[in-house]
Amino acid sequence: MNGMNNIYSNKRYFRYCFCCGVFLLELLSGCSQESGLQAEIAIAENVPIAVCAALSTAEIDTRASVTEEMKTGSLGIFRLAENDYTALYNVKYEKTSDTAPWSSTTTIYVGAEFASLCAYAPYNSVEFAKNSTVATLEAQEYKADKDMRYATTGGATIWKLTPQADFTLIHSYARLTLAITRMPTYPSTKPYLCAVTKVVVEPGTGGSKIATQRTKDIATNAETTVTEADNYIFTVTTALKTSGIVSGATDNSGVDMLLPPQTLVGGVKLTLTVDGADYAVTVPADRLSMLTAGSHYTVKIDVKGFGLQVEDVTIDKAWTSTSVGSGDYNTGF
């Protein structure tokens, strides 16, 4: 009888041990799976960046910065060769509508290290040196698709857990516009149309130079003058060169240019070719000399008889289409 009891007790003991073993195996298996999952999370694949871009509209003086989200448009984004990342140059990102995300056919990824990104807009508004973040700024006619803005950074903590890149884009150029008014004293008989075909821009002090090309490194903000000349010749392409200006009217769009930022020694000398004749006027240095990136300078010129007169210079530091406001000014004569 005692033997039977021993056998029965042993069976219960073995059954208990077996159950405990199964439990331990399941526990170990679960721990192993959890450890594997944590390891998988730790070595997760790189993730695509998420892009947000805004245009700065108050970047010159000490006013509070104002930004406006880019709801459509194109960017060129660069990833710098830092923190074990390979460099990527001028990758095009587009936003086609207010609700659409920024997207690219060549997605930029970030991983376990912080990535350094910079950007510019619009895409292809400037030319970059090969495999470089250095762009060339050229004196030229103002066009929206050539008005390059840039951001030296998309943020300091862009990596796989926070892949959001926020670019606040500022102007690279200064903008100079002439508002030309035909006064009643200008001849009204043919062939006088007050047609302006050319404008020559040069420093007020003879022998000084104007920079017609400068480079801008959008990653470091560094600038270098590449090409200097005695003057910059702007050729009018609008109806101002053919139809001219009627008496009492003002043309403020025919002479509109982008200029690399710089200081012109002795002010700004402007020579206008009006109905085939050249007329010159100099805006003194205390009225206009420094051409600052992000500022829009409007010089108001009256064509009187056979000569020119500068009425004032309006400087819009927010580069908007509105009239002079806080922080902006005009310099009357």
Instruction: Please state the domain extents for the chain.
Output: 47-171, 174-316
User: May I ask the CATH architecture of the domain 174-316?
Assistant: Sandwich (2.60)
CB 158 within 8 A of CB 165: yes
CB 221 within 8 A of CB 237: no
The per-residue pLDDT for 32 is 42
The per-residue pLDDT for 319 is 74
The 10s digit of each residue's pLDDT in 14-71 is 444 443 443 434 434 444 434 443 444 444 689 999 999 999 976 555 455 688 999 9
Percent of the chain with pLDDT over 70: 80
Residue closest to 70 by CA, chosen among 139, 156, 165: 165
Cα-Cα end-to-end distance for the chain: 127
Average pLDDT of the chain to the nearest whole number: 87
Region 47-171: CATH code:
2.60.40.2620
The per-residue pLDDT for 269 is 98
The 10s digit of each residue's pLDDT in 65-121 is 688 999 999 999 999 999 999 999 999 999 999 999 999 999 999 999 999 999 999
Q: Give the integer Cα–Cα distance in Å for 235 and 254.
A: 10
The per-residue pLDDT for 316 is 87
Q: Give the integer Cα–Cα distance in Å for 251 and 246.
A: 9
Residue labelled with tokens 């600038």? 223
The 10s digit of each residue's pLDDT in 234-261 is 999 999 999 999 999 999 999 999 999 9
pTM, rounded to two decimals: 0.83
The 10s digit of each residue's pLDDT in 307-328 is 999 999 999 887 765 444 445 6
**Identical topology for domains 47-171 and 174-316:** yes
* Amino acid (1-letter code) at residue 307: G
Q: Give the integer Cα–Cα distance in Å for 300 and 108.
A: 47
- Cα angle value 80/83/84 (rounded, 5°): 90
The per-residue pLDDT for 328 is 61
- β-bridge partners, 332: 312
Residue 294 — pLDDT band, cuts 50, 70, 90? very high
User: 8 versus 67: which is more confidently predicted?
Assistant: 67
Q: Give the integer Cα–Cα distance in Å for 19 and 17.
A: 5
Residue 206 — pLDDT band, cuts 50, 70, 90? very high
The 10s digit of each residue's pLDDT in 273-292 is 999 999 999 999 999 999 99
- β-bridge partners, 54: 69, 168
